[in-house]
Amino acid sequence: MINSLEININKEEKEFILERIEKILDSKINWTNSTNVLEFEETMKKITGSNYAIATSTGSTAIEASLIALGIQEGSVVYTQTLTAPPTVLSALSVGAIVVFVDSDKENFGMSLEDLKEKIDEYGTNGCVIPVHIGGYISKNIKDIVEYSHKMGMPVIEDCAHAHGSMIFDKYAGTFGDVGTFSFFLTKTLTSGEGGIIITNNAEIDRKLRMIRNYGKDSDGYHVIKGSSWRMNEFTGVVALSQIRSHNKIILEKQRIAKKYDKLLENNKYFKSLTSQEINGYYKYIIINKSNIPISYLITSMESKYNIKLPGLVYSHLCHEEPFIIGNNKVKGVMKYYKNATFLARNHLCLPIYMGLSEDSVEYIIDCLNRACEITTVNEYKVSVIIPTYNRSALLQNTLNSLCNQTLSLNEFEVIVVDDGSNDLTYNVIKKYQNNLNLKYIFKKHDGFGVANSRNMGVDLSRGEIVIFLDCGMLCSRNYVQSHYFSHKKNPNSYILGYVYGYDDYNENKDIINCNVPFSHHLLL
């Protein structure tokens, strides 16, 4: 099997690690922030061209410590992408900040400068900006993002968890903003199992960070700033040091594999590779789906039919869709529609890229991927039910309730609710049904186009063989979805128009009556 995750520690690295660990054990006391951690920091400084490097316990604590050092606190605003890992957001919430989500740049997974400007206009300049280098790809507008943020009086923290070895404009990832944070988690390009590091050129930030990772204590032992136990231990430091010493070899190997992928994907009718910068560390090799073939099907097919286990997606869920984050009142923009981020999350695939992957294996992967695309006509769901709504929470609840009791398995259909800017209790209704249906909820501004625009947006997001349009207040019999699916199987080019039973909100008795409301659905051709 070609496995997506291969961690290769060669003989030389293993000997280095074991020798250093023996010395640590013999020291009996110097197990934290000692010789190996200091050497790791110095090596990272040289590689990145930074004046300072501060090792931490994890990549997440690196972000949190950086936020504290930059004065981000209760009431501050942190702008970051919804297409990122939840720890980026959770670190901001941990210091009491308000999180505002920003859309992605469709071309490279980076932060959209245009959307950032709009969000800053709306939420103000009391805070900082965290652009994320997804997959190791540094956005070509990173300079503009930093310049604009500084113009607005806000510092920039680059989240470089994916960006070991990545460079653009002759500068290393993490050196454009005020601070750059890296993760050495198990899956990263350079790994020590856990661990993180912060780079900066600012002496005052460096001074604060060294106190913050040690409970906020200064050199005299006074606790002068908020902090915690975020030091890197020597055992982690040894493994991190062994990896950073092999930095060039690892990056060059990944570059070699990526170039082979690039060549094989030229003019591919199903996928396109992302345009890369000068040097990419390739935490992920990302390709964009140009077809309507479900990504989930391809992942399953590659493993079951061709014995190729693909890496996990960059992020299959956007942060504003995560249950914990949705329910946090310090997170803004939860109910907005992020067009580019949504497209990228649902239309990308990651290919294996690890030390030792042969060119023959790369050719085999692309060949199998093409074959999987050629033979499939499978959709993710049999049916997509699309419901536009606007300030009709009570009626929506009745419609969703009727969909919970369908004879067609809940795993075989999805429900897409497109909210045209409601200001009632619609979102509270949605939350009640998120665990009972395959439910997607899209909130957009009330733009005057109403139902038609909402339905079009729902179709764009749908992953079903057929689409059913419902309106709020329509009540579905138990076999409603299944019957319509089978009808279209018998007559694939048909459109169905008719009457449904609805719920009259103005009837004092709240009786179910025949509203003579037309409905329609059609096959996606």
Instruction: Please report which confidence band the pLDDT of residue 376 belongs to, taking 50, 70 and 90 as the band edges.
Output: low
What is the reported pLDDT for 416? 92
What is the reported pLDDT for 276? 67
pLDDT digits 0-9 by tens, 22-62: 888 888 777 887 889 999 999 999 999 999 999 999 999 99
- Residue 194 CA to residue 103 CA, distance in Å, equals 29
- Residue 422 CA to residue 356 CA, distance in Å, equals 53
What is the reported pLDDT for 95? 95
What is the reported pLDDT for 495? 64
Identify whether the C-beta of residue 156 lies closer than 8 Å to the C-beta of residue 150: yes
Instruction: Please report which confidence band the pLDDT of residue 435 belongs to, taking 50, 70 and 90 as the band edges.
Output: confident
| Residue 278 scores a pLDDT above 80 | no
Identify whether the C-beta of residue 164 lies closer than 8 Å to the C-beta of residue 188: yes
Strand 171-172 relative to strand 495-503, pairing: unpaired
What is the reported pLDDT for 145? 97
What is the reported pLDDT for 510? 45
What is the reported pLDDT for 274? 83
More confident residue, 311 or 13: 311
Tokens standing for residue 394: 């009570």
| Mean pLDDT in residue range 10-20 | 83
- Residue 201 CA to residue 435 CA, distance in Å, equals 47
Identify whether the C-beta of residue 233 lies closer than 8 Å to the C-beta of residue 220: no
pLDDT digits 0-9 by tens, 307-316: 899 988 888 7
More confident residue, 186 or 64: 64
| Mean pLDDT in residue range 330-347 | 85
Residue 279: phi, psi to the nearest 5?
A: -135, 130
What is the reported pLDDT for 65? 97
More confident residue, 178 or 320: 178
Instruction: Please report which confidence band the pLDDT of residue 509 belongs to, taking 50, 70 and 90 as the band edges.
Output: very low
CA 254 to chain centre: 22
- Residue 359 CA to residue 370 CA, distance in Å, equals 17
| Mean pLDDT in residue range 282-305 | 85
What is the reported pLDDT for 143? 96
What angle do the packed helices 359-375 and 295-306 form, to 10 degrees?
120
What is the reported pLDDT for 504? 46
- Residue 16 CA to residue 7 CA, distance in Å, equals 16
More confident residue, 287 or 373: 287
What is the reported pLDDT for 288? 93
Model confidence, pTM? 0.74
| Mean pLDDT in residue range 371-378 | 72
% of the chain residues with pLDDT over 90: 49
More confident residue, 380 or 190: 190
Domains identified in the chain and CATH numbers: 11-246 (3.40.640.10), 248-375 (3.90.1150.10), 381-523 (3.90.550.10)
What sign for the dihedral angle of Cα 246, 84, 51, 207? negative
Instruction: Please report which confidence band the pLDDT of residue 121 belongs to, taking 50, 70 and 90 as the band edges.
Output: very high
- Residue 113 CA to residue 105 CA, distance in Å, equals 8
Instruction: Please report which confidence band the pLDDT of residue 11 belongs to, taking 50, 70 and 90 as the band edges.
Output: confident
Q: Which of 125-129, 288-292, 350-354 has the lowest mean pLDDT?
A: 288-292
DSSP, res 335? T
33 Cβ contact list (under 8 Å, min separation 6): 55, 214, 231, 232, 234
